[in-house]
Structures are given as structure tokens and as C-alpha cells.
Structure 1
């Protein structure tokens, strides 16, 4: 009998979420539910237990796959408190955010360049602008209707007083309608997405101080894991968490904190939206980190997206399209999760128009799974480097420089 392939028995996994205000237990429950579904489909065993490591919120995974047993400690690097604080704006402040963010992307030329890549994520970025303006228009129309009724009924008797009452009713109606639709944002996602894009754009692509401080803490946490007796330390960055991971890993390597004989270091970026930040004029730090990380041999970097995910820059090499690829570029390996081929026709039909759900599909089960399996990657017996050794990038990837701004931090 052939000996099972295995170069990982123990692993540390650090998951960096995107712009998400939800408690990290959401990710544990998603992992538990979808891992069980994938195990049943693929014929392996996976189980979750309470975490044994100190530090951030997490869980322990044990897996039996292809005749090999392995274990992983998964931890979520939490910045949801920063996200929640950035979302605590009033309705007028959100509309001011809308104006400033739209101006940042339009005046800088970033929006036009982004549309040359993928229209899906640009439409997703424009969606909250359109939806918020539509909500404002609705509020104004309702208010105007109230004003018209009041003035028509009362003006023959009390003239200017009717006009004043009508205007007061108009203002009150606008406020009430806007508050009502904001209360329904769990369905519309307009305020949520507006805060997301505004947070990235508020400093022209530079990281806010509170985020830089949290990223430094994450760097320390990962550095400590690299000093433990495990076989692999895997960083998973989803959505906007991917560009945070780029800078964190670049800092880690620059600081000389990756032991030469330590665990394998791996980076999996999923559903990345890097160009939404790297194309902005002041994103010099991110562009420098992209350039630096892409040429390093201390890690393996795999980037997975899918054209079916309208919220990600699918198959766009984040280093190349940002215009900072060095001559000795090695990473990332870019390939597609190919939702239309890895999800059955029935499953694809069910999910196709659930755009936000599809943006999280990378963390979920595939009923026609091929070579991308989130649970094999995070809990299985092969390192990221071994799993994708010799894997060719997708032919349809976009790897030409598009960004207008290519300057990097000194």
C-alpha cells in the first residue's frame, strides 16, 4: 500500500476577515457547517473542538483525509470592533461619506481604471451610491406629497401658516423615511457597503492609524506562531482582509521574523478586492508591500477568485494590475475557483443572484469540488506549497498594469 502524502501534521491558521462588523463566532459556525458538508461530499472526516492556543478567537480542527491524520488551530484575527466604530455615523454623515468617496474615486481617475479590469466589483461599489441616492429621492418624494396635501387643504384658510406646516411635514417625512430604510439595511446593504468603501478611501488608500496599530498586533501574533513546533503557518485573507494580509506579511518578512528552519509560511488570498485600494493615489504602503511580497521566497502565495463572484476582482493579479510587479516576481499563483464548474447546476441556480453569499463561497462546500477545497487547505495533510506545486495559473488571468498610480513608499 502506498504511503499517504503528508508534509503537515500540525498547522496554525490565521483568518483575516474583510470589512465585517459581525462577531467571529460566525466564522466558526460557517466552518463547522460547511466543513461537515464538504466532508460528506468528498468522503473524508473533519471535526471541530475548542481551541488549545492562547490569543484570538478560534477553534481546533482534526481531520482524516486520504489515509493521513492532521490537526489545525484556526484563529480569527479580529478587527470587527474597528469596523463597527467606522459604521457608527449618522445618516447625514453617511451621505457626506458618499460625496467624499465618490469624489476620491472619480477625481483621481481610479474608477475609470478599475472599470478596465472587472465591471462586477465596480458595479458593486456604485450600488450603495445609487441605492442611497434612490432612498433620498424616495424620502423627498414622500415629503413633497405630504407638503402638497397639507398646503392644498389648509392654504385657503391660513395661507403662509399652511406653507410652514407643509415644509415641517416635508422635513419630518424625509427624516422618518431615511431612518426607516436605514433600519432595513440588513436587506439592502447600502449603508454597510458605503461605510466599507469610504473606510478604504478616507485617506486616499493609506491605512488609518487605528488599523495600522491592529495590523502590528497581528504581525506579532503570527511571528509568535512561527516560533512554535508546527509544520505550517497559513494566513487566509478574505475580501479586504487580503490586502491587510499583504502588508502584515510584508512587515513580518522585512522585520526578519520568519525563522529559516521554522514552519512553512503560506498565504491564501480569497475573493480579493486589492485594486479598490491599490489604485488610489496614497496607497503607497500597499503598493510597496505588494511589490515586495511578490518576490519573496519565504512564503507561498496563492490567490483564488471566481468570475461568478461579482464582488471580487476575479483573476486579476493584484501585483501586476497595480503596476508594481518586479522583474523577479514569483507570486501570487492566480487561479479560479470556477463556481460554474465546481457547483452543480442546481446549486449554482440557487446561489447565482445571491451576490454577498457568493462572495463567501470560497469558505464553503463545493458539490463538484476540483482542486480548490478550503477544508483540505486549512486542515489537510498537505502544505499550500505542496498542494499547488506545479499548478499553472489560469489562462484568463489579467496581469497587465492598469493603475494610474504606481508610486511606492520609500
Structure 2
């Protein structure tokens, strides 16, 4: 088996001394219309399973609390869902406050629009990606994600063909000389055929949801629109997240025992959101992450960042990424997995994006690592989920079956800082390589 990809940039930050007794996590979910109900349940379930797998006592998890309210053109809804996890004596685990930053209402709004409009947007976005050569770029980065991108486009064409065939068949059967012998005029048969085709599509709705057709269609459309600069609602939400995080961090700094580490963690499309939030926070408070305060970490899991960052008009995003890759007060770690269909494993934005960095710029981020799913998932589980793209994609947020470098709960709840975890694993890899090398 080939060695997992790994990259540590030359300007990586110097490790801090001391462990983490208290941590604050801002977690950003991906493009999910049910985030406010899904991630709390997933966290509690998987942490419980984690304790059983590794023979640990259960950790105390506080009740979920709604954060500040936003007016979104209707009833006010929470921007944040937060809970606390108590310190853990057995593992020396940190007391952790975990905040989920919510943007699922924007996703739900996309799902609520006309399916015809969504379909037209998909055709336009895919045609644009093909014409600009970006679909080829996505395939080169990870062929599995290329297939995921193309899947709703091909499915849409197939559905249109099937509905069209049904419409033509019904029109022919009802018309003159048709199989039903009714000889109805075209004024009747054509609308009847169209209605039959549309009825078939409506009858397939549940099946289409089970195979994630509309989820992937709307997700691709969102990324395309975002790359074109057409999502003002999303930009406003990013600003709201930054406002909230800065206010929260200022309040934490005034506490008697402030956190030792701040983590911004994003999964899937939320990895891109986490990058954008981190850039806004640092732009507004350049002292974040310095040695006088808590260490600042950015963790991107199963990221789809190239979907937006490679689009020609995404200049603001590339400027934000450029600001992060040279920031030595930030530790940015990107975890990917070749087994995951919906990420770009090993993608290095500092090397593969045109960021306009100066020739003398010292690149400090991101540190790139493989989650090594084959090592942390049991063979039985791996066989069961390897062809279930969404299940594999969510492994980043789930309990390991086996101990390994990638460990979501040790990373977010454990006693080590993010950079220490990564560098410790790197040293262990080198030691194993030296031990396995032939001597003589």
C-alpha cells in the first residue's frame, strides 16, 4: 500500500509549551438543511460509542443551548447551538465548549426553491465548469469527487429523457391511431403526455431523496454560485459568524481561566466556511493566536475547498487563503481521505492555487495529513461502508474503531494542542520508518 500523503510546510509554527485544560471549539457543518438537529445527536452518539470502544468512562455532556438570535425575514432563530463537555480525569481530557455555527436555514431555502429553477441552475453551473475546464481540474484532483459532481447532471438528463419518453408514449396512445383507440386531438394528448411525465417525476421524489440527488444537486449549485460571488446571504452569515466569534473570544479573554486553545473546525462544505471565518477573524484581530493568548487552530475535514477556490471569479476567497497560508500565529491542519468520495485528499492550496504570494513569502499553512481511514476503521465496517459515499464522508466526525493519528474526539476534547498532536504523529511515523528500514 502506498504511503499516505503528508506535507508539513517549512514555516510551520513553533509548538507551545503546556497542554490544554480548557478548549473552545467553533464547529461549522457542511451543506446540510438539518444541521440543528443532526450534529448534536451525532456528537453524543459517537462520543458514547468512542468511550465503549476504547474502554473509557463516559464524559459528562451538558444540555444544548441556543446562541444569539438572528432575524432572517421571519421568526428569529439561533445562530449557534452550544454545549459543554466536562474535563475527563481518566484521559486528562480538557473541559470543552462546543459551538455549532448554523447556516442550515440558507440551505433549507435552497431546497425550498422550484425544482425547475434548481435544475436550470445545475445545467448552467455544469456547463460553465465544463467550458472553463474546471470539471477536468476536479477530476484530476480526485476522480471520485469528479463523479460526484457529474452525478446530478447525468441523472437530470436521464430523468428528462425518461419523462420525455413517457410523455411521447402517452401522447401516441391517446391520439389518432393510438393503442387505446381514443383518437383524441393533440390539444388533449400533448398536455396529458406532459402531465404523465411530470407525475412520474413526482412519484420518484422519495427515491431521488434516498440517493441524495437533490442534496448533491443543490450543493454543487451553491458552490458554483458562491464562486461567482452571487451568494450575498451567505456572505452576510459569514460576517455574523465573525461578529459572534469575536464577541465570544473577547468575553473568554476576560474570564479568570480563559481557554488554552481555540479551534475552528469545518467539515465538507463547512471546511470552506471555516477557512473564510478564520480569515475574517484574523483580519479584524491580528493578535489572535499570539503567545499572549490561547493558541488558534483551524481544522478542515474532508474539504471541498477547490470547488470554489479554483473558480476564476473567486478572487476574494483566494486572497483570504493567501492571508492564512503565511500566518504563523495560526495552525491550519487539513485532513483528507482517498476513500472519501467527497473531498480532495492531499490538495495543497499554497502550491496549487494562484495566491499571488511574494517570492520571499514563508508558507506556514496548511499542514496536510491523511485521516488513514483504512487504519482507524475495522475491516468489517470498511467493507460495509466503502461504497456508501455519505457514510464514508461522515467518518471524519465519528468514533474510530481503532486508535490512530486521526481521532476527532481526542483532537477536540483531548489534552494536547492541535500542533502537538500532528508533530507527535509525524515523529512516530519517522521512528517507524527508521525501524523498518534495512540495516547493514
The normalised TM-score by structure 2 is 0.83
Aligned length: 389
The alpha-carbon deviation at position 273 of structure 1 amounts to 0.4
In terms of mean alpha carbon deviation, does 310-319 or 230-239 score higher? 310-319
Whole-angstrom CA distance in 1 between matches of 2:226 and 2:371: 33
Q: Does 1:369 align with 2:403?
A: yes
Distance 1:158 1:25, change over 3 A: closer
After superposition, give the CA deviation of every residue in 1:82-121 in whole Å (9 maximum; x if it has no partner). Answer: 1111222223212211221112211222112222211111
Which residue does the alignment assign to 1:15? 27
Q: Does 1:351 align with 2:385?
A: yes
Whole-angstrom CA distance in 1 between matches of 2:390 and 2:147: 13
Which residue does the alignment assign to 2:139? 115
Q: What's the secondary structure of 1:381's corresponding residue?
A: coil
Matching of residues 200-349 of structure 1 within 5 Å? 200-202=223-225, 204-206=227-229, 208-227=231-250, 228=252, 229-256=258-285, 258-259=287-288, 260=290, 261-324=292-355, 326=357, 327-349=361-383
Structure 2 gaps of 5+ residues are: 1-16, 69-79, 253-257, 430-440
Does the 8 A contact of 1:13 with 1:234 survive in 2? yes
Q: What's the secondary structure of 1:226's corresponding residue?
A: helix
The alpha-carbon deviation at position 15 of structure 1 amounts to 0.8
The alpha-carbon deviation at position 252 of structure 1 amounts to 1.1
After superposition, give the CA deviation of every residue in 1:204-223 in whole Å (9 maximum; x if it has no partner). Answer: 44361111111111112222
Does the 8 A contact of 1:49 with 1:60 survive in 2? yes
Whole-angstrom CA distance in 2 between matches of 1:67 and 1:20: 33
Q: What's the secondary structure of 2:423's corresponding residue?
A: coil
Distance 1:221 1:137, change over 3 A: same
The alpha-carbon deviation at position 63 of structure 1 amounts to 4.4
Give 1:188's match in structure 2, choosing from 211, 231, 235.
Answer: 211
Distance 1:201 1:185, change over 3 A: same
Q: What's the secondary structure of 1:359's corresponding residue?
A: helix
Whole-angstrom CA distance in 2 between matches of 1:114 and 1:18: 19
Q: What's the secondary structure of 2:33's corresponding residue?
A: coil
Whole-angstrom CA distance in 2 between matches of 1:7 and 1:224: 25
Give 1:149's match in structure 2, choosing from 153, 173, 179.
Answer: 173
Distance 1:92 1:144, change over 3 A: same
Which residue does the alignment assign to 2:116? 92
The alpha-carbon deviation at position 243 of structure 1 amounts to 1.2
The alpha-carbon deviation at position 69 of structure 1 amounts to 4.2
Does the 8 A contact of 1:269 with 1:303 survive in 2? yes
The alpha-carbon deviation at position 166 of structure 1 amounts to 2.3
Structure 1 gaps of 5+ residues are: 396-410
After superposition, give the CA deviation of every residue in 1:265-303 in whole Å (9 maximum; x if it has no partner). Answer: 111100000111111111101111111101112211111
Distance 1:148 1:52, change over 3 A: closer
Which residue does the alignment assign to 1:398? none
In terms of mean alpha carbon deviation, does 44-53 or 167-176 score higher? 44-53
Does the 8 A contact of 1:60 with 1:72 survive in 2? yes
After superposition, give the CA deviation of every residue in 1:144-201 in whole Å (9 maximum; x if it has no partner). Answer: 2222222266699775x34333212211011112222234332121122111111121
Which residue does the alignment assign to 1:400? none
Q: Does 1:163 align with 2:197?
A: no
Whole-angstrom CA distance in 2 between matches of 1:58 and 1:238: 17
The normalised TM-score by structure 1 is 0.88
Which residue does the alignment assign to 1:49? 62
The alpha-carbon deviation at position 6 of structure 1 amounts to 6.1
After superposition, give the CA deviation of every residue in 1:294-351 in whole Å (9 maximum; x if it has no partner). Answer: 1112211111110000111112123322232844111111111111221111010111
Whole-angstrom CA distance in 1 between matches of 2:277 and 2:236: 11
Does the 8 A contact of 2:174 with 2:181 survive in 1? no
